[in-house]
A and B are shown apart, each in its own frame.
Chain A
């Protein structure tokens, strides 16, 4: 199985800060990477697909980049409503594994 390693596992930042989460795949997955946001008690929400494509309706402060084994997810200016856990997921190979998640909190 492809292992997806996310870091950090949690972070605390101030409103307006730039937040960066990394996701590393244990083998080359091309650009077959999704990013999801999950708020407490809610289902996940697709934010980014194919590593860098923004899902319709998602604010432009969210972005993704990378290919191969190293990927980055960025919130350019953290907002209070962005408090959530973020997950990467590879879909190059079955099983389509998720990263362990990054919990984002407001400082």
Chain B
């Protein structure tokens, strides 16, 4: 069974940093692209960033590149999101998700999400 478990969320002050992790199991992690999607409280979904299976290709949502960095460690079967200079607008549940397959870009499996709250 595919499982994605996010961790690392919490309450931080504006300007601080946070690193989210997503532990994967139940599939060959190194074979799939992975994505972070976030959802502000009571709002819709926002695509954050994606990384290819080898980590070669990385894409970011607008306005996030430069503050957010997506990475992965295939040996540890883990996905990461380093978030710097956090702002109130970054407050959201952050989901990691796995693509359906090679070149798919359809998010077939999702974690339960981790809440990031940015507040002074």
Q: Which residues of A contact B (CB under 8 A)?
A: 1, 32, 34, 36, 38, 43-46, 49-50, 55, 87, 89, 91, 94-101
Q: Once the chains bind, are B47 and A46 in contact (CB under 8 Å)? A: no
Cβ of B1 within 8 Å of any chain A Cβ, yes or no, is no
A46 and B112 in contact, given A98-B45, A99-B44 (Cβ under 8 angstroms): no
Q: Once the chains bind, are A95 and B61 in contact (CB under 8 Å)? A: yes
Q: Give the dominant DSSP class at A's interface.
A: loop
Cβ of B95 within 8 Å of any chain A Cβ, yes or no, is yes
In the bound complex, CA of A101 to CA of B45 (Å): 8
Chain A residues with CB under 8 Å of B107's CB are 34, 36, 44, 46, 89
Q: Once the chains bind, are B47 and A96 in contact (CB under 8 Å)? A: yes
Please report which residues of chain B, range 83-111, place their CB below 8 angstroms from some CB of chain A when the two chains form the complex.
95, 100, 104-108, 110-111
Please report which residues of chain B, range 41-74, place their CB below 8 angstroms from some CB of chain A when the two chains form the complex.
44-47, 50, 59-62
Q: Once the chains bind, are B100 and A1 in contact (CB under 8 Å)? A: no
Q: Once the chains bind, are B46 and A46 in contact (CB under 8 Å)? A: no
Chain B residues with CB under 8 Å of A94's CB are 50, 59-60
A101 and B108 in contact, given A43-B95, A43-B113 (Cβ under 8 angstroms): no
Q: Once the chains bind, are A43 and B111 in contact (CB under 8 Å)? A: yes
Q: How far is the CB of B66 from chain A (nearest CB, A)?
A: 14
Chain B residues with CB under 8 Å of A36's CB are 45, 107
In the bound complex, CA of A63 to CA of B9 (Å): 36
In the bound complex, CA of A49 to CA of B105 (Å): 9
Q: Once the chains bind, are B45 and A87 in contact (CB under 8 Å)? A: yes
Of B44, B61, B62, B108, the most chain A CB neighbours within 10 A belong to B44
**Nearest CB in chain A to that of B48: its residue:** A95
5 new A-B pairs (CB below 8 Å) besides A44-B37, A87-B44, A95-B59? A34-B105, A46-B100, A91-B105, A98-B47, A100-B44
Can you name 27 A-B pairs with beta carbons within 8 Å?
A34-B105, A34-B107, A43-B95, A43-B110, A43-B113, A44-B37, A46-B106, A46-B107, A46-B108, A49-B104, A49-B106, A50-B106, A55-B100, A87-B44, A89-B45, A89-B107, A91-B105, A94-B50, A94-B59, A94-B60, A95-B47, A95-B59, A96-B50, A96-B105, A98-B44, A98-B47, A101-B44
